[in-house]
Structure 1
Amino acid sequence: MKSTLDQIEDIKKNGYTIDFGSTFNYAFENYKKIALYSGLIILVFSVIVGILVMGLAVTYYGVGAINRDFIQGLENQKLSYLEQLLSIAAFSVFAALLAPFGAGFLKMADCADKDEEFNVSTMFTYYKSPYFSQLFIMALILALVSNAISAALESQGINLLGTAISIFISFFTFLAIPLVIFGKLNAIEAIKSSLIVVTKNPLLIFALFITGFIGSVIGIFACCIGILFTAVFNSSVTYATYFSIFSEEEEIKDSIDSIGQSDLE
Protein backbone atom coordinates (compact mmCIF):
# COMPACT_ATOMS: atom_id res chain seq x y z
CA MET A 1 0.00 0.00 0.00
CA LYS A 2 1.36 3.42 -0.94
CA SER A 3 2.14 5.86 1.83
CA THR A 4 0.05 9.00 2.15
CA LEU A 5 2.87 11.17 0.80
CA ASP A 6 3.22 8.86 -2.21
CA GLN A 7 -0.52 9.20 -2.85
CA ILE A 8 -0.17 12.98 -2.53
CA GLU A 9 2.53 12.91 -5.21
CA ASP A 10 0.22 10.88 -7.49
CA ILE A 11 -2.58 13.39 -6.89
CA LYS A 12 -0.18 16.26 -7.58
CA LYS A 13 0.71 14.73 -10.96
CA ASN A 14 -2.54 13.07 -12.05
CA GLY A 15 -5.31 14.55 -9.92
CA TYR A 16 -8.20 12.38 -8.67
CA THR A 17 -11.94 11.91 -9.04
CA ILE A 18 -14.60 11.18 -6.45
CA ASP A 19 -18.37 11.01 -6.72
CA PHE A 20 -20.34 13.61 -4.73
CA GLY A 21 -23.48 11.48 -4.35
CA SER A 22 -21.66 8.38 -3.13
CA THR A 23 -19.48 10.37 -0.74
CA PHE A 24 -22.49 12.25 0.66
CA ASN A 25 -24.45 9.05 1.22
CA TYR A 26 -21.43 7.43 2.83
CA ALA A 27 -21.17 10.43 5.16
CA PHE A 28 -24.88 10.38 5.99
CA GLU A 29 -24.87 6.68 6.84
CA ASN A 30 -21.87 7.25 9.08
CA TYR A 31 -23.51 10.28 10.69
CA LYS A 32 -26.60 8.28 11.67
CA LYS A 33 -24.38 5.95 13.71
CA ILE A 34 -22.76 8.71 15.77
CA ALA A 35 -25.32 11.55 15.87
CA LEU A 36 -27.01 10.77 19.20
CA TYR A 37 -23.89 9.89 21.16
CA SER A 38 -21.87 12.81 19.83
CA GLY A 39 -24.75 15.20 20.51
CA LEU A 40 -24.84 14.16 24.16
CA ILE A 41 -21.06 14.60 24.42
CA ILE A 42 -21.26 18.09 22.91
CA LEU A 43 -24.08 18.99 25.33
CA VAL A 44 -22.12 17.89 28.39
CA PHE A 45 -18.90 19.48 27.13
CA SER A 46 -20.69 22.78 26.39
CA VAL A 47 -22.15 22.89 29.90
CA ILE A 48 -18.75 22.21 31.49
CA VAL A 49 -16.98 24.84 29.37
CA GLY A 50 -19.78 27.34 30.04
CA ILE A 51 -19.43 26.85 33.80
CA LEU A 52 -15.64 27.18 33.62
CA VAL A 53 -15.81 30.36 31.53
CA MET A 54 -18.41 31.85 33.86
CA GLY A 55 -16.34 30.93 36.89
CA LEU A 56 -13.19 32.49 35.44
CA ALA A 57 -15.09 35.64 34.45
CA VAL A 58 -16.56 36.04 37.93
CA THR A 59 -13.16 35.36 39.53
CA TYR A 60 -11.40 37.95 37.35
CA TYR A 61 -14.08 40.64 36.96
CA GLY A 62 -16.39 39.95 39.90
CA VAL A 63 -20.10 39.12 40.02
CA GLY A 64 -20.81 41.99 37.61
CA ALA A 65 -19.33 39.87 34.82
CA ILE A 66 -22.64 38.05 34.43
CA ASN A 67 -24.47 41.32 33.79
CA ARG A 68 -25.57 41.94 30.18
CA ASP A 69 -24.43 45.57 30.28
CA PHE A 70 -20.96 44.44 31.38
CA ILE A 71 -20.73 41.98 28.47
CA GLN A 72 -21.85 44.64 25.99
CA GLY A 73 -19.28 47.01 27.47
CA LEU A 74 -16.53 44.47 26.84
CA GLU A 75 -17.68 44.02 23.24
CA ASN A 76 -17.59 47.79 22.63
CA GLN A 77 -14.29 48.29 24.42
CA LYS A 78 -11.43 49.46 22.20
CA LEU A 79 -8.44 47.20 22.73
CA SER A 80 -4.89 48.48 22.57
CA TYR A 81 -2.44 47.01 20.07
CA LEU A 82 -0.84 44.86 22.79
CA GLU A 83 -4.23 43.69 24.06
CA GLN A 84 -5.21 42.69 20.52
CA LEU A 85 -2.03 40.63 20.16
CA LEU A 86 -2.62 38.95 23.52
CA SER A 87 -6.23 38.27 22.56
CA ILE A 88 -5.21 36.71 19.24
CA ALA A 89 -2.61 34.55 20.98
CA ALA A 90 -5.03 33.44 23.72
CA PHE A 91 -7.83 32.49 21.32
CA SER A 92 -5.35 30.70 19.05
CA VAL A 93 -3.91 28.63 21.90
CA PHE A 94 -7.43 27.79 23.08
CA ALA A 95 -8.37 26.64 19.56
CA ALA A 96 -5.18 24.57 19.37
CA LEU A 97 -5.95 22.87 22.68
CA LEU A 98 -9.41 21.94 21.40
CA ALA A 99 -8.12 20.52 18.09
CA PRO A 100 -7.49 16.98 19.44
CA PHE A 101 -11.00 16.97 20.91
CA GLY A 102 -12.46 17.87 17.52
CA ALA A 103 -10.33 15.15 15.96
CA GLY A 104 -11.99 12.76 18.39
CA PHE A 105 -15.22 13.02 16.38
CA LEU A 106 -13.32 11.74 13.34
CA LYS A 107 -12.08 8.83 15.46
CA MET A 108 -15.67 8.18 16.50
CA ALA A 109 -16.71 8.24 12.83
CA ASP A 110 -13.91 5.77 12.06
CA CYS A 111 -15.01 3.42 14.85
CA ALA A 112 -18.63 3.57 13.67
CA ASP A 113 -17.59 2.89 10.09
CA LYS A 114 -15.63 -0.20 11.17
CA ASP A 115 -18.35 -1.32 13.62
CA GLU A 116 -15.99 -0.86 16.55
CA GLU A 117 -17.12 0.23 20.00
CA PHE A 118 -16.68 3.88 20.94
CA ASN A 119 -17.29 5.82 24.14
CA VAL A 120 -16.42 9.08 25.89
CA SER A 121 -12.72 8.17 26.06
CA THR A 122 -12.71 7.99 22.24
CA MET A 123 -12.95 11.79 22.19
CA PHE A 124 -9.60 12.06 23.96
CA THR A 125 -7.72 9.56 21.80
CA TYR A 126 -5.53 12.23 20.23
CA TYR A 127 -4.49 13.94 23.46
CA LYS A 128 -1.42 11.74 23.46
CA SER A 129 1.78 11.31 21.48
CA PRO A 130 2.41 11.60 18.59
CA TYR A 131 -0.94 13.12 17.60
CA PHE A 132 -1.34 15.88 20.18
CA SER A 133 1.80 17.84 19.29
CA GLN A 134 1.08 17.76 15.55
CA LEU A 135 -2.59 18.68 15.93
CA PHE A 136 -1.70 21.45 18.37
CA ILE A 137 0.98 22.93 16.08
CA MET A 138 -1.27 22.70 13.02
CA ALA A 139 -4.27 24.29 14.74
CA LEU A 140 -2.10 26.98 16.35
CA ILE A 141 -0.58 28.00 13.00
CA LEU A 142 -3.96 28.16 11.27
CA ALA A 143 -5.65 29.96 14.15
CA LEU A 144 -2.87 32.57 14.44
CA VAL A 145 -2.97 33.30 10.71
CA SER A 146 -6.76 33.39 10.54
CA ASN A 147 -7.25 35.47 13.70
CA ALA A 148 -4.46 37.89 12.81
CA ILE A 149 -5.87 38.54 9.33
CA SER A 150 -9.41 38.91 10.67
CA ALA A 151 -8.30 41.31 13.41
CA ALA A 152 -6.29 43.42 10.93
CA LEU A 153 -9.21 43.69 8.51
CA GLU A 154 -11.77 44.32 11.26
CA SER A 155 -9.63 47.18 12.58
CA GLN A 156 -10.05 48.72 9.12
CA GLY A 157 -13.81 48.13 9.26
CA ILE A 158 -13.74 45.32 6.67
CA ASN A 159 -15.38 42.65 8.82
CA LEU A 160 -16.92 40.58 6.03
CA LEU A 161 -13.63 40.18 4.20
CA GLY A 162 -11.97 38.92 7.36
CA THR A 163 -14.72 36.35 7.83
CA ALA A 164 -14.47 35.29 4.18
CA ILE A 165 -10.71 34.76 4.45
CA SER A 166 -11.16 32.67 7.61
CA ILE A 167 -13.68 30.49 5.77
CA PHE A 168 -11.33 30.01 2.83
CA ILE A 169 -8.48 29.05 5.16
CA SER A 170 -10.79 26.42 6.67
CA PHE A 171 -11.73 25.28 3.17
CA PHE A 172 -8.17 24.82 1.91
CA THR A 173 -7.22 22.98 5.12
CA PHE A 174 -10.41 20.89 5.04
CA LEU A 175 -8.45 17.61 5.09
CA ALA A 176 -5.55 18.67 7.31
CA ILE A 177 -6.78 16.95 10.50
CA PRO A 178 -7.52 13.55 8.90
CA LEU A 179 -4.15 13.75 7.13
CA VAL A 180 -2.52 13.96 10.57
CA ILE A 181 -4.54 11.27 12.36
CA PHE A 182 -5.16 8.84 9.50
CA GLY A 183 -2.39 9.79 7.07
CA LYS A 184 0.28 10.00 9.79
CA LEU A 185 1.64 13.30 8.44
CA ASN A 186 3.16 16.05 10.55
CA ALA A 187 1.48 19.43 10.92
CA ILE A 188 3.25 21.22 8.05
CA GLU A 189 2.94 18.25 5.68
CA ALA A 190 -0.77 17.98 6.47
CA ILE A 191 -1.42 21.65 5.70
CA LYS A 192 0.54 21.50 2.44
CA SER A 193 -1.08 18.20 1.40
CA SER A 194 -4.59 19.47 2.13
CA LEU A 195 -3.87 22.51 -0.04
CA ILE A 196 -2.71 20.25 -2.89
CA VAL A 197 -5.71 17.94 -2.67
CA VAL A 198 -8.27 20.74 -2.46
CA THR A 199 -6.81 22.74 -5.35
CA LYS A 200 -6.80 19.65 -7.59
CA ASN A 201 -10.60 19.39 -7.39
CA PRO A 202 -11.78 22.65 -5.78
CA LEU A 203 -15.40 22.72 -6.96
CA LEU A 204 -16.27 19.24 -5.72
CA ILE A 205 -14.41 19.67 -2.44
CA PHE A 206 -16.09 23.05 -1.94
CA ALA A 207 -19.49 21.43 -2.53
CA LEU A 208 -18.71 18.83 0.15
CA PHE A 209 -17.28 21.50 2.46
CA ILE A 210 -20.42 23.64 2.19
CA THR A 211 -22.68 20.59 2.51
CA GLY A 212 -20.92 19.60 5.72
CA PHE A 213 -21.27 23.13 7.10
CA ILE A 214 -24.96 23.46 6.20
CA GLY A 215 -25.70 19.99 7.55
CA SER A 216 -23.98 20.92 10.81
CA VAL A 217 -25.88 24.16 11.43
CA ILE A 218 -29.29 23.05 10.16
CA GLY A 219 -30.14 21.79 13.63
CA ILE A 220 -30.42 25.38 14.82
CA PHE A 221 -33.90 25.44 13.28
CA ALA A 222 -34.96 22.64 15.64
CA CYS A 223 -35.35 24.88 18.71
CA CYS A 224 -31.61 25.67 18.52
CA ILE A 225 -30.66 22.68 20.71
CA GLY A 226 -30.89 20.50 17.62
CA ILE A 227 -27.54 21.87 16.48
CA LEU A 228 -25.92 19.76 19.20
CA PHE A 229 -26.94 16.67 17.25
CA THR A 230 -26.20 17.96 13.75
CA ALA A 231 -22.85 19.64 14.48
CA VAL A 232 -20.99 16.36 14.00
CA PHE A 233 -22.34 15.94 10.46
CA ASN A 234 -19.35 17.91 9.20
CA SER A 235 -17.03 15.34 10.79
CA SER A 236 -18.78 12.55 8.88
CA VAL A 237 -18.46 14.50 5.62
CA THR A 238 -14.76 15.14 6.28
CA TYR A 239 -14.22 11.47 7.11
CA ALA A 240 -16.05 10.24 4.01
CA THR A 241 -14.25 12.73 1.78
CA TYR A 242 -10.86 11.70 3.10
CA PHE A 243 -11.46 7.99 2.57
CA SER A 244 -12.94 8.62 -0.84
CA ILE A 245 -9.56 10.01 -1.83
CA PHE A 246 -7.13 8.10 0.37
CA SER A 247 -8.03 4.43 0.68
CA GLU A 248 -6.39 2.95 3.73
CA GLU A 249 -8.37 -0.23 3.37
CA GLU A 250 -9.98 -1.70 0.27
CA GLU A 251 -13.20 -2.45 2.14
CA ILE A 252 -13.75 1.27 2.76
CA LYS A 253 -13.48 1.96 -0.94
CA ASP A 254 -15.88 -0.92 -1.65
CA SER A 255 -18.41 0.44 0.85
CA ILE A 256 -18.52 3.77 -1.00
CA ASP A 257 -18.99 1.98 -4.34
CA SER A 258 -21.77 -0.18 -2.93
CA ILE A 259 -23.64 2.90 -1.70
CA GLY A 260 -23.39 4.43 -5.17
CA GLN A 261 -24.64 1.24 -6.80
CA SER A 262 -27.63 1.01 -4.45
CA ASP A 263 -28.58 4.58 -5.37
CA LEU A 264 -28.58 3.66 -9.08
CA GLU A 265 -30.82 0.68 -8.40
Structure 2
Amino acid sequence: MKSTLEQIEDIKRDGYSIDFSNVFNDAFENYKKIAVYSGIVMLVLTLVLFLLFTVLGTIFGDLKGWSENLVKILGNQNTSSVEYIILIASITFITALFTPFGAGFLKMAQYADKDQKFDFAAIFSYYKAPYVFPLISTAFILGVVSGSISYFFESVGAGFAGTAFSLFISYFTFFTIPLIVFGNLNVFSAIKSSLILVSKNPITIFGLFIIGYIGSVVGVVICVVGVFFTAVFNTSITYAAYFSIFDDEEKRDPIDSIGRSDLE
Protein backbone atom coordinates (compact mmCIF):
# COMPACT_ATOMS: atom_id res chain seq x y z
CA MET A 1 0.00 0.00 0.00
CA LYS A 2 1.28 3.47 -0.84
CA SER A 3 2.33 5.71 2.01
CA THR A 4 0.27 8.77 2.85
CA LEU A 5 2.83 11.08 1.26
CA GLU A 6 2.85 8.99 -1.92
CA GLN A 7 -0.94 9.20 -2.06
CA ILE A 8 -0.70 12.96 -1.53
CA GLU A 9 1.65 13.21 -4.51
CA ASP A 10 -0.87 11.29 -6.63
CA ILE A 11 -3.63 13.64 -5.47
CA LYS A 12 -1.44 16.65 -6.18
CA ARG A 13 -1.05 15.40 -9.74
CA ASP A 14 -4.44 13.83 -10.48
CA GLY A 15 -6.82 15.26 -7.88
CA TYR A 16 -9.43 13.12 -6.13
CA SER A 17 -13.19 12.67 -5.97
CA ILE A 18 -15.31 13.06 -2.85
CA ASP A 19 -19.09 12.88 -2.58
CA PHE A 20 -20.70 15.24 -0.07
CA SER A 21 -23.80 13.12 0.55
CA ASN A 22 -21.81 9.91 1.08
CA VAL A 23 -19.47 11.61 3.54
CA PHE A 24 -22.38 13.20 5.39
CA ASN A 25 -24.27 9.91 5.64
CA ASP A 26 -21.17 8.04 6.84
CA ALA A 27 -20.46 10.80 9.34
CA PHE A 28 -24.01 10.77 10.69
CA GLU A 29 -23.94 6.99 11.16
CA ASN A 30 -20.60 7.30 12.93
CA TYR A 31 -21.87 10.15 15.08
CA LYS A 32 -24.86 8.13 16.27
CA LYS A 33 -22.46 5.50 17.60
CA ILE A 34 -20.31 7.90 19.64
CA ALA A 35 -22.58 10.84 20.51
CA VAL A 36 -23.80 9.66 23.91
CA TYR A 37 -20.48 8.27 25.12
CA SER A 38 -18.44 11.25 23.93
CA GLY A 39 -20.99 13.63 25.45
CA ILE A 40 -20.71 11.92 28.82
CA VAL A 41 -16.90 12.02 28.59
CA MET A 42 -16.87 15.76 27.85
CA LEU A 43 -19.44 16.49 30.54
CA VAL A 44 -17.48 14.56 33.17
CA LEU A 45 -14.15 16.13 32.21
CA THR A 46 -15.70 19.60 32.19
CA LEU A 47 -16.96 19.06 35.73
CA VAL A 48 -13.52 17.78 36.78
CA LEU A 49 -11.82 20.85 35.28
CA PHE A 50 -14.37 23.13 36.93
CA LEU A 51 -13.64 21.56 40.32
CA LEU A 52 -9.90 21.76 39.64
CA PHE A 53 -10.02 25.48 38.83
CA THR A 54 -12.24 26.07 41.85
CA VAL A 55 -9.63 24.43 44.08
CA LEU A 56 -6.80 26.36 42.38
CA GLY A 57 -8.75 29.57 42.82
CA THR A 58 -9.08 28.83 46.52
CA ILE A 59 -5.38 28.09 46.87
CA PHE A 60 -3.86 30.78 44.65
CA GLY A 61 -6.43 33.55 44.84
CA ASP A 62 -9.20 35.02 42.76
CA LEU A 63 -9.04 33.44 39.30
CA LYS A 64 -12.05 35.49 38.23
CA GLY A 65 -10.12 38.68 38.91
CA TRP A 66 -7.15 37.29 36.98
CA SER A 67 -9.34 36.45 33.98
CA GLU A 68 -10.91 39.93 34.06
CA ASN A 69 -7.43 41.47 34.04
CA LEU A 70 -6.53 39.26 31.10
CA VAL A 71 -9.53 40.52 29.14
CA LYS A 72 -8.53 44.11 29.93
CA ILE A 73 -4.99 43.48 28.70
CA LEU A 74 -6.26 41.94 25.46
CA GLY A 75 -8.55 44.91 24.89
CA ASN A 76 -6.04 47.56 25.91
CA GLN A 77 -4.84 49.59 22.94
CA ASN A 78 -1.68 50.48 24.87
CA THR A 79 -0.53 46.88 25.09
CA SER A 80 2.57 46.53 22.90
CA SER A 81 2.69 44.09 20.00
CA VAL A 82 5.42 42.03 21.68
CA GLU A 83 3.46 41.79 24.94
CA TYR A 84 0.32 40.82 23.07
CA ILE A 85 2.06 38.10 21.03
CA ILE A 86 3.73 36.69 24.15
CA LEU A 87 0.36 36.60 25.87
CA ILE A 88 -1.30 34.95 22.86
CA ALA A 89 1.55 32.41 22.65
CA SER A 90 1.13 31.55 26.34
CA ILE A 91 -2.63 31.09 26.04
CA THR A 92 -2.21 29.12 22.81
CA PHE A 93 0.32 26.79 24.42
CA ILE A 94 -2.05 26.00 27.28
CA THR A 95 -4.93 25.27 24.91
CA ALA A 96 -2.62 23.27 22.61
CA LEU A 97 -1.99 20.85 25.47
CA PHE A 98 -5.59 19.67 25.01
CA THR A 99 -5.15 18.91 21.28
CA PRO A 100 -4.33 15.21 21.83
CA PHE A 101 -7.54 15.03 23.87
CA GLY A 102 -9.52 16.40 20.93
CA ALA A 103 -7.75 13.99 18.59
CA GLY A 104 -8.85 11.19 20.90
CA PHE A 105 -12.39 11.63 19.58
CA LEU A 106 -11.05 10.67 16.14
CA LYS A 107 -9.79 7.45 17.71
CA MET A 108 -13.23 6.94 19.23
CA ALA A 109 -14.76 7.50 15.78
CA GLN A 110 -12.40 4.92 14.32
CA TYR A 111 -13.37 2.34 16.94
CA ALA A 112 -17.05 2.99 16.22
CA ASP A 113 -16.49 2.74 12.47
CA LYS A 114 -14.91 -0.68 12.94
CA ASP A 115 -17.64 -1.72 15.41
CA GLN A 116 -14.99 -2.21 18.08
CA LYS A 117 -15.59 -1.60 21.76
CA PHE A 118 -13.95 1.45 23.29
CA ASP A 119 -13.71 2.86 26.77
CA PHE A 120 -12.83 6.08 28.56
CA ALA A 121 -9.10 5.53 27.94
CA ALA A 122 -9.63 5.88 24.17
CA ILE A 123 -9.88 9.63 24.55
CA PHE A 124 -6.28 9.75 25.80
CA SER A 125 -4.89 7.52 23.02
CA TYR A 126 -2.71 10.27 21.56
CA TYR A 127 -1.07 11.49 24.75
CA LYS A 128 1.91 9.33 23.84
CA ALA A 129 4.71 9.13 21.29
CA PRO A 130 4.81 9.60 18.36
CA TYR A 131 1.61 11.67 18.37
CA VAL A 132 1.67 14.02 21.34
CA PHE A 133 4.49 16.33 20.22
CA PRO A 134 3.26 16.83 16.61
CA LEU A 135 -0.31 17.43 17.78
CA ILE A 136 0.64 20.02 20.38
CA SER A 137 3.17 21.66 18.05
CA THR A 138 0.65 21.92 15.23
CA ALA A 139 -2.00 23.52 17.43
CA PHE A 140 0.58 25.93 18.88
CA ILE A 141 1.97 27.02 15.50
CA LEU A 142 -1.43 27.51 13.90
CA GLY A 143 -2.77 29.23 17.01
CA VAL A 144 0.09 31.72 17.21
CA VAL A 145 -0.08 32.48 13.48
CA SER A 146 -3.85 32.93 13.60
CA GLY A 147 -3.73 35.01 16.79
CA SER A 148 -0.94 37.25 15.51
CA ILE A 149 -2.68 37.93 12.21
CA SER A 150 -5.95 38.60 14.01
CA TYR A 151 -4.11 41.08 16.25
CA PHE A 152 -2.69 42.84 13.20
CA PHE A 153 -6.12 43.27 11.62
CA GLU A 154 -7.59 44.32 14.97
CA SER A 155 -4.88 46.96 15.40
CA VAL A 156 -5.73 48.54 12.04
CA GLY A 157 -9.46 48.52 12.76
CA ALA A 158 -10.33 45.50 10.62
CA GLY A 159 -11.31 42.99 13.28
CA PHE A 160 -13.75 41.23 10.95
CA ALA A 161 -10.90 40.47 8.55
CA GLY A 162 -8.95 38.89 11.41
CA THR A 163 -11.87 36.61 12.27
CA ALA A 164 -12.30 35.70 8.60
CA PHE A 165 -8.60 34.88 8.30
CA SER A 166 -8.76 32.63 11.38
CA LEU A 167 -11.65 30.72 9.80
CA PHE A 168 -9.65 30.60 6.56
CA ILE A 169 -6.76 28.93 8.41
CA SER A 170 -9.09 26.43 10.09
CA TYR A 171 -10.63 25.60 6.72
CA PHE A 172 -7.35 24.93 4.93
CA THR A 173 -5.97 22.90 7.85
CA PHE A 174 -9.15 20.78 8.02
CA PHE A 175 -7.22 17.52 7.50
CA THR A 176 -4.11 18.34 9.53
CA ILE A 177 -4.97 16.39 12.70
CA PRO A 178 -6.14 13.18 10.95
CA LEU A 179 -3.06 13.34 8.70
CA ILE A 180 -0.94 13.24 11.86
CA VAL A 181 -2.81 10.52 13.76
CA PHE A 182 -3.84 8.32 10.81
CA GLY A 183 -1.31 9.30 8.15
CA ASN A 184 1.68 9.47 10.52
CA LEU A 185 2.89 12.74 9.01
CA ASN A 186 5.01 15.30 10.80
CA VAL A 187 3.78 18.79 11.60
CA PHE A 188 4.73 20.63 8.44
CA SER A 189 3.97 17.73 6.10
CA ALA A 190 0.50 17.46 7.63
CA ILE A 191 -0.19 21.19 7.23
CA LYS A 192 1.13 21.23 3.66
CA SER A 193 -0.81 18.08 2.74
CA SER A 194 -4.02 19.51 4.19
CA LEU A 195 -3.59 22.60 2.01
CA ILE A 196 -3.24 20.35 -1.04
CA LEU A 197 -6.30 18.26 -0.17
CA VAL A 198 -8.52 21.27 0.42
CA SER A 199 -7.30 23.15 -2.66
CA LYS A 200 -8.04 20.16 -4.90
CA ASN A 201 -11.69 20.03 -3.85
CA PRO A 202 -12.43 23.39 -2.20
CA ILE A 203 -16.21 23.57 -2.63
CA THR A 204 -17.05 20.12 -1.26
CA ILE A 205 -14.60 20.44 1.62
CA PHE A 206 -15.95 23.89 2.44
CA GLY A 207 -19.45 22.46 2.57
CA LEU A 208 -18.31 19.71 4.94
CA PHE A 209 -16.35 22.23 7.01
CA ILE A 210 -19.43 24.43 7.46
CA ILE A 211 -21.90 21.61 8.10
CA GLY A 212 -19.51 20.09 10.63
CA TYR A 213 -19.39 23.25 12.71
CA ILE A 214 -23.11 23.92 12.36
CA GLY A 215 -23.87 20.39 13.53
CA SER A 216 -21.49 20.81 16.45
CA VAL A 217 -23.22 23.89 17.85
CA VAL A 218 -26.79 22.67 17.38
CA GLY A 219 -26.72 21.56 21.02
CA VAL A 220 -26.39 25.18 22.15
CA VAL A 221 -29.63 26.07 20.38
CA ILE A 222 -31.52 23.05 21.71
CA CYS A 223 -30.05 23.10 25.19
CA VAL A 224 -26.77 24.50 26.49
CA VAL A 225 -25.79 21.13 27.96
CA GLY A 226 -26.69 19.55 24.61
CA VAL A 227 -23.51 20.95 23.07
CA PHE A 228 -21.59 18.21 24.89
CA PHE A 229 -23.47 15.67 22.79
CA THR A 230 -23.33 17.48 19.43
CA ALA A 231 -19.77 18.87 19.54
CA VAL A 232 -18.34 15.57 18.32
CA PHE A 233 -20.34 15.74 15.07
CA ASN A 234 -17.52 17.75 13.51
CA THR A 235 -15.14 14.93 14.46
CA SER A 236 -17.31 12.41 12.62
CA ILE A 237 -17.40 14.70 9.56
CA THR A 238 -13.60 15.04 9.59
CA TYR A 239 -13.14 11.29 10.07
CA ALA A 240 -15.56 10.35 7.27
CA ALA A 241 -14.05 12.92 4.89
CA TYR A 242 -10.51 11.71 5.56
CA PHE A 243 -11.31 8.06 4.94
CA SER A 244 -13.31 8.87 1.83
CA ILE A 245 -9.99 10.03 0.38
CA PHE A 246 -7.52 7.60 1.96
CA ASP A 247 -7.81 3.85 2.41
CA ASP A 248 -7.83 2.48 5.94
CA GLU A 249 -5.33 -0.35 5.74
CA GLU A 250 -6.81 -2.01 8.82
CA LYS A 251 -10.18 -2.29 7.04
CA ARG A 252 -8.71 -3.84 3.89
CA ASP A 253 -10.04 -7.27 2.98
CA PRO A 254 -7.31 -9.83 3.91
CA ILE A 255 -7.78 -11.52 0.50
CA ASP A 256 -6.99 -8.22 -1.24
CA SER A 257 -3.78 -7.97 0.77
CA ILE A 258 -2.35 -11.31 -0.38
CA GLY A 259 0.85 -10.77 -2.29
CA ARG A 260 1.31 -7.20 -1.04
CA SER A 261 4.60 -6.37 0.62
CA ASP A 262 4.43 -4.84 4.09
CA LEU A 263 6.81 -2.22 2.81
CA GLU A 264 4.72 -1.35 -0.25
TM-score (norm 2): 0.88
State the number of aligned residues: 249
Q: Provide the secondary structure at the position in 2 that maps to 1:225.
A: helix
| Structure 1 Cα separation of the partners of residues 44 and 103 of structure 2 | 17
For 1:76-122, what per-residue CA distance to the aligned partner results, in whole angstroms no more than 9, with x for missing partners? 44262243122111121122211111100000000000111111111
User: Amino acid of the residue matched to residue 146 of structure 1?
Assistant: S
SS of the residue corresponding to residue 133 of structure 1 reads helix
Question: After TM superposition, where is structure 1 displaced by more than 6 Å over at least 4 residues in a row?
Answer: none
Which ranges of structure 2 fall in alignment gaps of 5 or more residues?
Answer: 254-264
Give the deviation of 1:137 after TM superposition. Answer: 1.4
CA RMSD of aligned residues (A): 2.1
Q: Which residue of 2 aligns with 1:167?
A: 167
With over 3 angstroms needed to count, the CA separation of the structure-2 counterparts of 1:117 and 1:11, relative to structure 1, is: same
Gap runs ≥5 in structure 1: 254-265
1:3 alignment counterpart: 3
Partners of 1:148 and 1:50 in 2: CA distance: 29
Matched, 1:120 2:116: no
The CA deviation at 1:30 is 0.2
**Cα distance in 2, alignment partners of residues 217 and 151 from structure 1:** 26
Does 2:160 align with 1:188?
Answer: no
**Residue 71 of structure 2, aligned match among 68, 72, 75:** 75
- Look up the equivalent residue of 1:75 and give its one-letter code: V
Q: Which residue of 2 aligns with 1:178?
A: 178
Q: What is the CA–CA distance in structure 2 between the aligned matches of 1:2 and 1:221, rounded to whole Å?
A: 44
Q: Counterpart of 1:213?
A: 213
Instruction: Give the 3 Å change call, closer, same or farther, for CA 85–59 of structure 1 in structure 2.
Output: farther
Deviation at 1:198, TM superposition (A): 0.3
Q: Which residue of 2 aligns with 1:261?
A: none
Given that residues 54 and 66 in structure 1 are in contact (C-alpha distance below 8 angstroms), is that contact kept between their aligned partners in structure 2? Answer: no
71-80 vs 102-111, greater mean Cα deviation:
71-80
- Judge which range, 73-82 or 150-159, deviates more: 73-82
Q: Is contact 1:58–1:66 with CA below 8 Å preserved after alignment?
A: no
With over 3 angstroms needed to count, the CA separation of the structure-2 counterparts of 1:225 and 1:176, relative to structure 1, is same
Distance 1:36 1:131 in 2: 26
CA distance in 2, matches of 1:178, 1:7: 15
CA offsets 1:23-81 (integer angstroms, 9 cap, x no match): 10000000000000100111112222233344445555x34x547xx865653442622
Map 1:15-164 → 2, pairs under 5 A = 15-57=15-57, 59-60=59-60, 62-63=61-62, 65-66=63-64, 74-77=70-73, 78=76, 80-81=79-80, 82-164=82-164
2:261 corresponding residue in structure 1: none
What is the letter of the counterpart of residue 26 of structure 2? Y
Render the CA deviation track for 1:222-245: whole Å, top value 9, x for unaligned. 221111100000000000000000
**Does residue 1:245 correspond to 2:245, yes or no?**
yes
Alpha-carbon displacement from aligned partner over 1:121-144 (angstroms, at most 9, x marks no partner) = 111110100011111111111111
Q: CA deviation at 1:7?
A: 0.6
**% identical equivalent positions:** 53
Residue by residue, what CA displacement relative to the aligned partner does 1:121-179 show, whole Å, maximum 9, x if unpaired? 11111010001111111111111101111122223332211111111101100000000
Deviations 1:187-241 (A, max 9, x none): 1100000000000000000000001000000111122111110000000000000
What is the alpha-carbon distance in structure 2 between the residues aligned to residue 73 and residue 188 of structure 1? 35
